[in-house]
Structure 1
């Protein structure tokens, strides 16, 4: 590995330069959860198109119910119409009363309660107005998005799904924990991941990089200065190496390259180092490829100060604590902290740290 470390910021800029969203593909709603929506089409007609009942009862006109109560029932000028929840209201009706609020047994129907317009109904366009977007392009689809799409009668949705080759440069102990870990992170971000194993020599790695049908390549292992670490050499053989050695803690042995337009990030084999490089470099590139909207972080005040080394970017793990970020670790990421952390922060190389109370944006790792 080169002794001079290149700054994270310059490497990241070179890695993502020219990257654009991959071509949209149509996916069934059953497969689309967690994928990134590709288009912001607008709704041509409102949902619902007409006023609908939201409970079983009598469809009425609110003006006909003025003054009605259990002590002073009001005779109805017209026979009420029974509707079931989800049915369209008859013309002229603007509310629904429960069954026990209307008596239809006598010579004329009587109401025992008033109701304002809109009571017991969902007005036309109240769920989604005409002209509103079906989905928000660049945002990951969740269960509520899929509910709305199904309610509108859609069976498919265009999404952007980056294809990522995850190449596990075989560890001597045949340990695949890190590749499984990174693969799960990639899939959680909406990528389509294909896994492959590769011998540790440079020629084999270089061969595995050739002519791949993918949008990004992530390798695991073989980035250090050991005798069997040859991932960076493989990138050199393909004249694709941007940098080997990053001013990042942890993860400084990582390598980065580009095979034509395809970004390549070689992660160290240790899970914590791979995690750090993933959030510092892989995720920003993946966001570009997926066309994901920026601003996925959550800003909260720091519960206590964070100290950082000037000249090197550092990864910090934080936990939600009383509406603030409580630092767990900086630059050293024990497994216990990885599993307890709620969010991750990439501290810039020019930062000396942040004082307690400073608003700090962190990328969520789980719901808080």
Structure 2
């Protein structure tokens, strides 16, 4: 007979559970991906780029000429040319011996001899070689997410493959967790993980069968962490590996659990979207960031508009939005879906704190990068 799940008499402090999960956990090995597949992945060491443009190019359509040859030219004193100048289109390489592009109406080609009607300066209408991308610079520093603007540099410089870290994350949805599972899958994909989603019935054997460690670097389960009659995720974790903690001193998300199957981390999130969201940010995302080799996430320090009261012994998740140069509290502990959607920042009040007084400057994670 399978013993029903029960929360322990005392909850595991969040920092202790997280430290146990991060211990001896190293970033995954880099892989090489084409730019089209590298968006949002975390950069590993990037190659030095070639200069772009590789040579001087015309900024706009016009006549390619040498500025020193046009000194004194004006509509009142046209400068005759021995031969017709070369026409260049925008983006075309500048012909040898030329250093400026003059407008179409600055050269009169209607007569037997072309005439220049205006002076120019060296570099006029020209984009110099290396002015967009200097030779030797990197696309982005290692540990940062690759965004569209970084891929623009890679493509312009002709980089065919980029070295990135993309951990493989298996998400196991365990009955009635569809909203939470999709939220976590979308969030993890934006974080740079490769996602494999599967489902398991609320049965210990079915859940244990779904906890397949082969081919993945992290498993996140959704649902079945409570003490209901059909909750069996934690028992399944214990049967497949080493259960580190069940019952985390975190609000919301106290029924979350952490485990390892051999050396691979497993984070069990509650099935309710707000609890899954909180436990994801507090536990699973730091684990994923370690696997990604990601630098510290962007945060913003602002004073609190009003006091935050928190119970000692429980870490509480606070959702914030910016208002008049301060952090305004949207929700504490009880997170509605609307609050999750509107939040700009997330703050985790440590379990050892009673909260923060109004005006205290707090450093919150940015939810909108």
With normalisation by structure 1, the TM-score equals: 0.89
Q: Give the paired residue count.
A: 363
Cα–Cα, structure 1 residues 117 and 334, in superposed 2: closer, same or farther, change >3 Å? same
Separation of aligned partners in 2, 1:354 and 1:324: 14
CA contact (8 A) 1:64 1:77 kept: no
Q: Distance in 2 between matches of 1:354 and 1:67?
A: 72
**Hey, what's the Cα distance between the residues in 2 that align with 1:304 and 1:76?**
75
Q: Which moved more, 1:63-72 or 1:329-338?
A: 63-72
* CA displacement at 1:57 relative to structure 2: 0.7
Q: Aligned to 1:319, what secondary structure does the other structure show?
A: strand
C-alpha distance in 1 between matches for 2:125 and 2:331: 53
Which piece of structure 1 moves more, 108-117 or 182-191?
A: 108-117
Aligned to 1:136: 141
> 1:19-67 CA deviation, whole Å, 9 max, x = no partner?
2222222323222222222222112x31112111111111223334455
Per the TM alignment, residue 219 of structure 1 is displaced from its structure 2 partner at its CA by: 0.6
Residue 350 (structure 1) aligns with:
352
The residue aligned with 1:47 is: 52
Aligned CA-pair RMSD: 2.4
- What SS does the corresponding residue of 2:158 show, helix, strand or coil? coil
Give the match's secondary structure for 1:277. Answer: helix
The alpha carbon displacement at 1:69 in A equals 4.9
Say which SS state the counterpart of residue 264 (structure 1) adopts: strand
2:90 aligned with 1:99: no
Q: 2:52·2:130 contact (CA, 8 Å) conserved in 1?
A: yes
Deviation at 1:295, TM superposition (A): 3.5
Structure 1 stretch displaced more, 291-300 or 188-197: 291-300
Aligned position for 2:16: 10
Uncovered stretches (5+) of structure 1, i.e. residues with no partner: none
1:320 maps to which residue?
A: 322
For 1:129-170, what per-residue CA distance to the aligned partner results, in whole angstroms no more than 9, with x for missing partners?
111013432222222222222222233323221111111122
Query: Would the aligned equivalents of 2:213 and 2:264 in 1 still touch at CA under 8 Å?
Result: no
CA deviation map 1:299-357 (0-9, x unaligned): 34434343333332111111233444322111110112112112322222233333444
Aligned counterpart for 1:59 among listed residues 58, 64, 76: 64
Q: In structure 2, which of residues 115, 136, 157 is the aligned counterpart of residue 152 of structure 1?
A: 157
The secondary structure found in structure 2 opposite 1:218 is: strand
User: Which TM-score applies when normalising by structure 2?
Assistant: 0.89
